[in-house]
Amino acid sequence: MRPIIIANWKMNLGYRDSLKLAEDLVRAIPEAELYKKDVVVCPSASSLLIVAEMFKKHHIVMGAQDVFWREQGAFTGCESPKFLWEAGCRLAIIGHSERRQNLQETDAMVNQKIKAALVAGLAPILCVGETYEERAAGKTDNVIMGQTIKALSGIQLLANEQLVVAYEPVWVIGSGRPIEPEEAEHASRIIYQTLLDLFPLTIVQNNIRIVYGGSIDGSTVSDFTGLEYFGGFLVGGASLHAEEFASIIKQTE
């Protein structure tokens, strides 16, 4: 499958800075890269429309940082997957650890969000990963297996639907240092095996990509590009700099 490189701008940029970075990205990423790789940018909700306008004539795809599980109604402050699609989003990050921690998002909520995203035509980017305490207690494998199973319970992917599972060890996000590539590879194997228990082999091979996220930048990405089950990256801090993000894209095979 084509590699996928996802920028998660988090809550870092307002409207003007988002527009500026979107412009810089269009200049920094050669068109030829976009024919071979899927490049996704997830801005804040308040900047989606302006960024969508900027990417209209380019092959950079836009994603949302979250979705709600209902399509429409009295849900103040929530973002409808259907409306996010209308705003130009084609993917949505779901279950990011910052939402699990700050907003007490549960696996059950993540599951509902994934279902709703798929109905709206958005490809979910499911985030899973262990905290430092869970890792120290030797629970990493169980945590990522459990999160993956609960998030995807009752979901059947159709041949035209895509899913991304991002392995993001919570303790390295924003730390400036990724984990050892061998540890990441072990986690990706666990996720791959879990996916094989949930979906037919052809779906796992053709419709699902596993990516790594957690302090990836232009100087560390090459340590992770050859790993067996990874097909790309979810990038936070380093995606806020156009040249740095372009360098990550260039090095991703």
User: Which residues are marked as active site?
Assistant: 96, 168
Binding region for ligand PGA (CB under 6 A) out of 40-48, 59-67, 75-83, 214-222: 214-222
Give me 114's structure tokens.
């994934």
Give me 238's structure tokens.
């380093």
CB of 172 to ligand PGA, least distance (A): 7
- In sequence order, the 6+-apart residues with CB closer than 8 A to the CB of 236 are 8, 10, 173, 174, 213
What's the CA gap between 85 and 181, in Å, rounded?
A: 35
Taking CB under 6 A as the criterion, the residue among 3, 43, 95, 213 binding ligand PGA is 213
5 binds ligand PGA (CB under 6 A): no
Let me know if 130 is exposed, middle or buried by CB neighbors in 10 A (0-12, 13-18, 19+).
buried
The total of other beta-carbon atoms located within 10 Å of residue 201's CB is 9
What's the CA gap between 238 and 248, in Å, rounded?
A: 9
214 binds ligand PGA (CB under 6 A): yes
128 binds ligand PGA (CB under 6 A): no
CB of 76 to ligand PGA, least distance (A): 26
Identify the CA nearest to 25 among candidates 68, 67, 55, 69: 55
Q: Which residue is nearest to ligand PGA (CB)?
A: 236
What's the CA gap between 208 and 198, in Å, rounded?
A: 12
Residue 91, SS3 per DSSP? strand
Taking CB under 6 A as the criterion, the residue among 7, 237, 248, 249 binding ligand PGA is 237
Query: With respect to ligand PGA, which residue has the nearer C-beta, 76 or 102?
Result: 102
43 binds ligand PGA (CB under 6 A): no
234 binds ligand PGA (CB under 6 A): yes
CB of 101 to ligand PGA, least distance (A): 11
Query: With respect to ligand PGA, which residue has the nearer C-beta, 179 or 195?
Result: 179
What's the CA gap between 160 and 138, in Å, rounded?
A: 37
236 binds ligand PGA (CB under 6 A): yes
Binding region for ligand PGA (CB under 6 A) out of 52-60, 67-75, 179-187, 228-236: 228-236
Give me 96's structure tokens.
């990011």
Give me 104's structure tokens.
């007490």
252 binds ligand PGA (CB under 6 A): no
117 binds ligand PGA (CB under 6 A): no
Binding region for ligand PGA (CB under 6 A) = 8, 168, 173-174, 213-216, 234-238
